[in-house]
């Protein structure tokens, strides 16, 4: 398991990186943390002739607030994002599930988004939080909402000559929860639910967002579940019903890990557990 | 030629080498520098046997290219002990936390990072922190005990 | 005693196969493997590969002088089939070796392998046990009609009558999925040939250097005296590395052909495809029982999927033969009838893996005991008590003819129930979101088999003996060369301890060397929990021989009767004469003609002896495992909450090592129960070839393990020891399966196949909850 030959380029600026992508297009792959791409390279399932290594590229790792949103550079390491005080708790929780420590030390937030493994946690959290991806190419920058970013397993809106610069996250709701399950106690996610919500003075859900891993070949929101819960008190009955309508029509993948039917069954339980869990967390100050 | 020159510090010693761009860091350490204490168990970043410390953080050396380590400071298992064993090594010895020894260097690196940040971890925290390292011999039982003992030794 | 081998392992100074510095001129090997489960090889075009600088491609055409091997001997019950060293015209499993690609570095070797074009004509593939046995199934080998490689049918006298008269007959079929062994270090070898001397040295990550050397000699037509096999540090073997593989034979053949060192380091995908698989088995069980729950007997129908070729040297009967032989366990019954078969399919060959068939066999046996308990309204511990062998049953020969030396089975059960707080289970079953269960497994482990057992099993290529050479140097330090090998079992410590017991030399001053056929006496190797019994027997014999000689020399020096000499802590003293002593070093120098006082008359010089040990009967260890698990009601995910073992492996030389071996063995039972399975599609494509697809237990999946020991010295071994290291696996599979079944007792589900997946459990939980 050795990679095939390639040219390794380590641009120092975003402009250089963009030039490389423009020049090589499909023949280039961006190397971020390497935790997802390197296995593909050594198994020779990816064969770029140029590797655009962003690990020496300036200006891509900041985690800062600007214009009311949290802006996280694509090359910010998952462990750093997880621990940053400005990071919304939902994203921090999701990253806690994203793999063992050594993986999160090198793995980047942007890399996780761009790779778009259907079982990855960070994309689901981004979707739940209505994150916006900032993409850059020679044509300039464009903003793509998370809802339009994840197309399919390992397929995103990023064009061959584009790179992900930044993930922008608007302010989150005060309460959140993330629950995941697999075969092992720590595993690739078979299914997971990310949710953030707000409760009004009477304990009713005044705002709610729910994203699912394992309901499709990519993370998806569950708008019907969200609607079913808006304005309601989270009782077992309302939750069960919300899960039922929210997942109706979902087409989870069937694979070595689980069948579609099992994922559906599990997601229903996870949804209830996630929403209840969020309701019981301390409301976070905005 | 897809080669590049790199200079890096490994266990405090500086090295300059010309390497193929596709050479994995694990191969560089093991075959170029002859530091064979870092082992390769899977080659795709799952088992953790190849874990080393790079610029103060653990990383899977089988998922890095040697060229990416240019300018880096790396600590491998060979850099842990002086004449006496490192306290973590000593604890692993006392608690029979190794059998064949193949996974051990990776566990040592991960344990040192854990204890640097959490000097008194609970059993649950230990299992959570080290679950990325696979062992086939010990069943992990004694490794958990060894990490608790190592925490004691480091706190002393 | 802490392990003597640890320091260098901890410091990163071990030398595993890939750590050995390859000599100048080494060619690095990649094996081109078949992507088809069954195909004709119409042609191989290596032109593009050979165009790369420094690349050589070898195919079967380069080794026409090497006939195929015959792993099975033509003994009753066997249908021997040939096993080519390198496939010429037919490939029989995904991973079968088609070509050997050699280059000056491993990266280029992979580049070159990709450029080799092989023209295959795919053929229908037989994949599962059922496929193999189906009417009109394609034949994997023309020499094996019905795809059967091995069969044994046996029945005790009076079986049919006893069964017919039984008040109760319980029936069930238990199935285990195929698993891979996954030692953390994959296989690898380095062959170095000296053309001048005509001698080849093979370094190999093997458990069986002498057997490997035998096979090399036979397969390649090289005198054994011209071959040296060295097992370096080995990163786990677990039985998988106790087989001899084509890669090893080809590395030597290529080294001799090209007169270049040849190095092969398997990667993880090689390992999943080409290293032995295991436990793809089915146990059909009929259990005859009296109304009070006492056993009358069993009828078994056992099938093992041996894969495309029999392994070397264990052959096609390793699992099928072991199944009925190990099944009877610690229970008292006379009537036993079985049919057992090994079938061949277009899959990776099977081989021994910790416990071999016994983990599956005990899943069946202990599963039946629980079923009978439920049917008869008996407590699960009580039904076992009514059947466990008692002290007065010994000496005992079980229904499959295996002699048990002793075993405190009742005490093991009672103490395990106490250790696990079995009685307090209900107090822990308080989480409404989880189903909780507790399971018992009472097991035996057949260990340390000698030549008689291997002959009886038809495994004539396994000598069953072990040897030890003990050499005390002039300065009184000692080296112990043992015919066994270690893959982490702590031989450097255990064997030193065993020798130290009689020698008066501290274990720290006894260096143990293993693994090199040029240095170590002839023996079988390490597998089947044999080291402390078989190797230990040789070590004790050698140590006692040297001790006796040292006493004679000491007696001569001190003018005392050797019978009055006591050796301890580096000195020889005369019993009852304080102040009169001589050091071991003085004795050793005397033996090397380096002291004024010479040797006793007639005594040979030196302190150097080679002794062998042949264990007459396997020694049988025993244990009781109690596993407690919980199942998440909404996901079906299983968590192992508590785990307890009481264990009797005779006299324990090093209890710390015994415990460590047992912990690791439990892990290799837990994995197959909860999460491990080698999957194929219907065409024999292997679906699980990385650690992402084939999931291994992590530290979060394994519980802490409470252990308690009873030491009932063996009556049949030297030193009273019994083997250890597979019992943990043999007990973990049934204990965990029974625990899951117990947790699911209120639901309509029959747990009789492993792995038990969350999906299976959730479906049953949900069905019940909807009613």
Question: Which residues of chain A does CATH 3.30.465.10 include?
Answer: 63-169
Taking one residue from A and the other from C, the number of pairs with CB-CB distance under 8 angstroms is: 74
Are B8 and B73 contained in the same domain?
Answer: yes
Is A43's CB within 8 Å of B65's CB?
no
Domain that holds residue B22: 3-79
How far is it, in rounded angstroms, from Cα C581 to Cα C587?
A: 11
pLDDT in tens, C576-600: 898 999 999 999 999 999 988 899 9
Chain B neighbors of A34, CB-CB under 8 A: 63-65, 68
Residue-level pLDDT at A283: 83
Is B63's CB within 8 Å of A106's CB?
yes
Chain A neighbors of B134, CB-CB under 8 A: none
Q: Are A163 and A21 in contact (CB under 8 A)?
A: yes
Are B119 and B68 contained in the same domain?
Answer: no
Chain A neighbors of B6, CB-CB under 8 A: none
CATH of domain A63-169: 3.30.465.10
CATH number for B63? 3.10.20.30
Give me the phi and psi of C239, to 5 degrees please: 105, -30
Question: Which residues of chain A does CATH 3.30.390.50 include?
Answer: 175-280
pLDDT in tens, C395-448: 999 999 999 989 999 999 999 999 999 999 999 999 999 999 999 999 999 999
How many C-beta neighbours within 10 Å does residue A88 have? Answer: 21
pLDDT in tens, B29-67: 999 999 999 999 999 999 999 999 999 999 999 999 999
**Interface contact B24, partner A, CB < 8 A:** yes
Are B35 and B51 contained in the same domain?
Answer: yes
Is A185's CB within 8 Å of C698's CB?
yes
pLDDT of B1 over the 80 cut: no
How far is it, in rounded angstroms, from Cα A10 to Cα A44?
A: 21
Q: How far is residue C57 CA from its own chain's centroid?
A: 34
Is C636's CB within 8 Å of A259's CB?
no
Are B51 and B108 contained in the same domain?
Answer: no
CATH number for B121? 1.10.150.120
Domains and CATH numbers, chain C: 6-123+187-265 (3.90.1170.50), 277-450+616-770 (3.30.365.10), 465-614 (3.30.365.10)
**Interface contact A18, partner C, CB < 8 A:** no
Q: Let me know the angle formed at the C-alpha of C340 by C336 and C342, rounded to the nearest 5 degrees.
A: 165
**The two structure tokens encoding residue C227:** 């071959």
Are B70 and B110 contained in the same domain?
Answer: no
CATH of domain A7-56: 3.30.43.10
**The two structure tokens encoding residue C751:** 């747990």
Residue B100 is nearest to which of C11, C488, C662, comparing CB atoms? C488
CATH of domain A175-280: 3.30.390.50
ipTM over 0.95: yes
Of B56, B79, B102, the residue at which a domain comes to its end is: B79
Are B99 and B71 contained in the same domain?
Answer: no
How many C-beta neighbours within 10 Å does residue C743 have? Answer: 24
Of B37, B55, B79, the residue at which a domain comes to its end is: B79
Chain A neighbors of C635, CB-CB under 8 A: 181, 266, 269-270
Q: Are A74 and A167 in contact (CB under 8 A)?
A: yes
Are B64 and B116 contained in the same domain?
Answer: no
Residue-level pLDDT at C771: 43
**Interface contact C114, partner B, CB < 8 A:** no
Are B59 and B7 contained in the same domain?
Answer: yes
**The two structure tokens encoding residue C522:** 């002839």
Is A181's CB within 8 Å of C758's CB?
yes
Chain C neighbors of B104, CB-CB under 8 A: 9-10
Is A10's CB within 8 Å of B67's CB?
yes
Are B32 and B71 contained in the same domain?
Answer: yes
Of B21, B49, B79, the residue at which a domain comes to its end is: B79
Low-confidence ranges of chain C (pLDDT < 50): 771
Residue B99 is nearest to which of C11, C660, C668, comparing CB atoms? C660
Are B21 and B42 contained in the same domain?
Answer: yes
How many C-beta neighbours within 10 Å does residue B24 have? Answer: 28
**Interface contact B45, partner A, CB < 8 A:** yes
Is A105's CB within 8 Å of B59's CB?
yes
Interface test with C, best of A185, A187, A253 (most C CBs within 10 A): A185
Are B75 and B93 contained in the same domain?
Answer: no
Question: Which residues of chain A does CATH 3.30.43.10 include?
Answer: 7-56
- Closest by Cα among C191, C227, C222 to C210: C227
Q: Are C572 and C582 in contact (CB under 8 A)?
A: yes
β-pairing verdict for C565-568 and C571-574: antiparallel
Q: What is the tally of structural domains in chain B?
A: 2
Taking one residue from A and the other from B, the number of pairs with CB-CB distance under 8 angstroms is: 85
Residue C664 is nearest to which of B36, B94, B137, comparing CB atoms? B137
Residue C690 is nearest to which of B22, B44, B108, comparing CB atoms? B44
Sheet of B3-10, strand order: B13-20, B3-10, B73-75, B51-54, B57-60
Burial-class residue C339 by CB neighbours within 10 Å (0-12, 13-18, 19+): middle
Q: What is the mean pLDDT of each run of 10 residues along chain A (286 residues)?
A: 98 98 96 98 98 98 94 98 97 97 98 98 98 98 98 97 97 97 94 97 97 98 98 96 96 95 97 96 76
Is A38's CB within 8 Å of B45's CB?
yes
């Amino acid at each position: 398991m050795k990679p095939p030959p390639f040219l390794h380029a380590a641009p120092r600026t975003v402009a250089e990186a963009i030039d490389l992508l423009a020049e090589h297009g499909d023949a280039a792959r961006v190397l971020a943390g390497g935790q997802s791409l390197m296995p593909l390279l050594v198994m020779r399932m990816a064969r770029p002739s140029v590797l655009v290594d962003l690990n020496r590229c300036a200006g891509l790792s900041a985690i800062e607030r600007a214009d009311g949103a949290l802006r996280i550079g694509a090359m910010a390491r998952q462990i750093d994002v997880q621990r940053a005080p400005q990071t919304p708790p939902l994203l921090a929780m999701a990253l806690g599930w994203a793999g063992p420590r050594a993986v999160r030390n090198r793995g980047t937030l942007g890399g996780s988004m761009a790779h778009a493994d259907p079982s990855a946690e960070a994309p689901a959290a981004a979707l739940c939080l209505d994150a916006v991806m900032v993409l850059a190419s020679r044509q300039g920058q464009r903003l793509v909402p998370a809802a339009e970013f994840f197309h399919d397993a390992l397929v995103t809106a990023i064009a061959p000559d584009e790179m992900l610069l930044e993930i922008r996250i608007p302010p989150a709701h005060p309460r959140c929860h993330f629950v995941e399950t697999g075969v092992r106690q720590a595993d690739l996610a078979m299914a997971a639910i990310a949710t953030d919500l707000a409760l009004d003075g009477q304990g009713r859900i005044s705002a709610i967002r729910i994203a699912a891993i394992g309901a499709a070949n990519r993370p998806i929101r569950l708008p019907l579940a969200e609607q079913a819960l808006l304005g309601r008190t989270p009782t077992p009955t309302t939750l069960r019903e919300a899960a039922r309508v929210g997942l109706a029509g979902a087409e989870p993948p069937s694979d070595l890990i689980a069948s579609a039917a099992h994922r559906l069954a599990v997601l229903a339980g996870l949804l209830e557990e996630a929403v209840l869990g969020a309701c019981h967390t301390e409301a976070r100050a905005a | 030629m897809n080669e590049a020159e790199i200079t890096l510090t490994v266990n405090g010693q500086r090295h300059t080498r010309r390497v193929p761009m596709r050479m994995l860091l694990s191969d560089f350490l093991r075959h170029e520098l002859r530091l064979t204490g870092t082992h390769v168990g899977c080659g795709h970043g799952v088992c953790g046997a190849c874990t080393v410390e790079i610029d103060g953080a653990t990383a899977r050396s089988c998922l890095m290219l040697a060229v990416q380590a240019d300018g880096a400071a790396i600590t491998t298992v060979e850099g842990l002990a002086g004449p006496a064993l490192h306290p973590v090594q000593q604890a692993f010895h006392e608690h029979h936390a190794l059998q064949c020894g193949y996974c051990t260097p990776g566990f040592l690196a991960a344990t040192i990072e854990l204890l640097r940040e959490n000097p008194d971890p609970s059993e649950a925290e230990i299992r959570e922190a080290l679950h990325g390292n696979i062992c086939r011999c010990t069943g992990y039982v004694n490794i958990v005990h060894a990490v608790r003992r190592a925490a004691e030794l480091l706190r002393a | 005693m802490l392990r003597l081998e640890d320091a260098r392992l901890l410091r990163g100074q071990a030398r595993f196969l890939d750590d050995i510095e390859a000599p100048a001129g080494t060619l690095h090997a990649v094996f081109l493997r078949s992507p088809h489960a069954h195909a004709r090889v119409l042609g191989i075009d290596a032109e593009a590969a050979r165009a790369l600088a420094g690349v050589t491609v070898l195919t079967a055409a380069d080794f026409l002088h090497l006939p195929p091997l015959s792993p099975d001997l033509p003994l009753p019950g066997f249908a021997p089939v040939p096993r080519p060293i390198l496939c010429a015209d037919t490939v029989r499993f995904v991973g079968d070796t088609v070509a050997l690609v050699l280059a000056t570095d491993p990266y280029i070797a992979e580049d070159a392998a990709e450029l080799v074009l092989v023209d295959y004509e795919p053929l229908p593939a037989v994949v599962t046990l059922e496929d193999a046995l189906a009417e009109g199934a394609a034949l994997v080998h023309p020499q094996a009609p019905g795809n059967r490689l091995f069969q044994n049918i046996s029945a005790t006298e009076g079986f049919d009558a006893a069964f017919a008269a039984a008040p109760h007959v319980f029936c069930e079929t238990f199935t285990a999925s195929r698993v891979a062994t996954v030692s953390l270090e994959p296989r690898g070898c380095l062959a170095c040939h000296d053309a001048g001397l005509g001698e080849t040295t093979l370094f190999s990550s093997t458990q069986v250097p002498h057997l490997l050397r035998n096979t090399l000699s036979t397969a390649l037509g090289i005198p054994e005296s011209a071959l040296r096999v060295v097992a370096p540090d080995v990163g786990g073997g677990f039985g998988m590395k106790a087989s001899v593989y084509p890669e090893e034979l080809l590395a030597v053949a290529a080294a001799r052909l090209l007169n270049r060192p040849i190095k092969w380091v398997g990667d993880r995908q090689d390992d999943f495809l080409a290293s032995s698989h295991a436990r793809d088995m089915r146990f059909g069980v009929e259990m005859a029982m009296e109304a009070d729950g006492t056993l009358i007997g069993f009828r078994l129908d056992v099938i093992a999927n041996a894969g495309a070729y029999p392994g070397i040297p264990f052959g096609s009967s390793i699992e099928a033969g072991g199944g009925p032989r190990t099944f009877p366990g610690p229970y008292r019954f006379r009537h036993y009838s079985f049919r057992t078969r090994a079938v061949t399919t277009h899959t990776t060959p099977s081989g021994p893996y910790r416990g071999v068939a016994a983990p599956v066999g005990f899943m069946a046996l202990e599963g039946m005991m629980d079923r009978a308990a439920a049917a008869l309204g008996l407590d699960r511990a009580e039904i076992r008590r009514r059947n466990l062998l008692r002290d007065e049953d010994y000496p005992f020969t079980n229904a499959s003819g295996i002699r048990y030396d002793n075993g405190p089975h009742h005490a093991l059960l009672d103490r395990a129930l106490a250790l696990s707080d079995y009685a307090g289970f209900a107090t822990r079953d308080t989480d409404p979101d989880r189903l909780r269960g507790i399971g018992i497994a009472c097991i035996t482990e057949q260990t340390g088999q000698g030549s008689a057992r291997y002959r009886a099993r038809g495994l004539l290529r396994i000598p069953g003996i072990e040897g030890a050479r003990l050499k005390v140097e002039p300065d009184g330090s000692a080296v112990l060369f043992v015919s066994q090998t270690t893959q982490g079992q702590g031989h450097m410590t255990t064997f030193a301890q065993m020798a130290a017991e009689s020698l008066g030399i501290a274990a720290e001053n006894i260096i143990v060397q293993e693994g090199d056929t040029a240095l170590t006496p002839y023996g079988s190797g390490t597998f089947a929990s044999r080291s402390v019994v078989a190797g230990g027997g040789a070590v004790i014999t050698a140590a006692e021989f040297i001790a006796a000689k040292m006493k004679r020399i000491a007696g001569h020096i001190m003018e005392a009767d050797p019978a009055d000499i006591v050796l301890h802590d580096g000195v020889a003293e005369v019993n009852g004469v304080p102040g009169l002593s001589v050091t071991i070093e003085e004795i050793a120098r005397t033996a090397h003609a380096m002291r004024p006082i010479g040797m006793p008359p007639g005594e040979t010089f030196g302190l150097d002896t080679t002794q062998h040990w042949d264990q007459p009967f396997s020694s049988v260890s025993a244990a009781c495992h109690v596993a407690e698990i919980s199942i998440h009601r909404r996901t079906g995910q299983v968590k192992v909450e508590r785990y307890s073992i009481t264990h009797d492996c005779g006299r324990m030389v090093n209890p710390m090592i015994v415990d460590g071996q047992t912990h690791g063995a439990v892990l290799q039972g837990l994995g197959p129960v909860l999460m491990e399975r080698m999957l194929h599609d219907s065409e024999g494509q292997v679906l699980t070839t990385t650690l992402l697809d084939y999931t291994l237990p992590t530290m979060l999946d394994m519980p802490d393990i409470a252990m308690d020991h009873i030491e009932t010295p063996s009556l049949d071994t030297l030193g009273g020891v019994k083997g250890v290291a597979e019992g943990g696996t043999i007990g973990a599979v049934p204990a965990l399966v029974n625990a899951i079944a117990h947790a699911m007792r209120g639901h309509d589900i029959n747990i009789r196949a492993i792995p038990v997946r969350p999906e299976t459990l959730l479906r049953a939980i949900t069905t019940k909850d909807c009613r």
